[in-house]
Amino acid sequence: MSIQLVSSNLELHVAEISIDDLVDCQAFAEQLASMVRTPLTIALSGTLGAGKTQWTRYFAMALGAPGQTISSPTFMLVHQYASQPPIFHLDAYRIGDEEEMLELGIEEMMDSEAVTILEWADRFPALLPRNTLRLHFEVANDQAARKIQCEASGQRAQAILREWIAIGS
């Protein structure tokens, strides 16, 4: 696993992460989980099968959620995991518009002392709060390898990314 800072300014930090396999994916999720400060929104994007739900499973397990309870919320739309801090896991793939997303109570989730993980977040960028960690997953040449572009906006998310870069360097 490697991480490289691509750009940084007062508003946004951007890094690129390369992971070779599920072991790297788990290590990345566990390291970020150890640095969480709430409230925090993690916005996930990428194609089907790029690793968004698998990464979320590792992240939630690192915060104490039972692994068997973690699955894609595609049909349920929202899952809440018994972790510390609590995690709200949403899937925007089947959500029609911003109004429907707001009816789910996303604003309250993102303001609570929890981590809100939103898959397919690129469908509703206007709803994301200032403190957001955006992870865009891409399948690399090898089917197990992934490139993850990480953007951190807001002081809390930027501090987490800076801390992770310091550890990963």
CATH code for the domain in which residue 92 is found: 3.40.50.300
Please compute, for residue 41, the number of CA atoms within 13 A of its CA located in the half-sphere on the CB side.
24
Which contacts (CB < 8 Å, 24+ apart) does range 65-72 have? 72/119
Digit-coded pLDDT (tens) for 15-27? 888 888 889 999 9
Q: What is the tens place of the pLDDT at every residue in 69-79?
A: 776 666 567 88
Range of the domain at 137: 2-168
Residue-wise pLDDT for 124-157, tens only, equals 999 999 889 999 999 887 677 889 999 998 888 9
For residue 151, what are the CA distances in angstroms to 2, 59, 127, 128, 159? 16, 17, 16, 13, 12
| Total domains in the fold of the chain | 1
pLDDT classification of 67: cutoffs 50, 70, 90: confident
Cα–Cα distance measured from residue 89 to residue 101, given in angstroms and rounded to the nearest whole number: 13
Q: Are 140 and 13 in contact (CB under 8 A)?
A: no
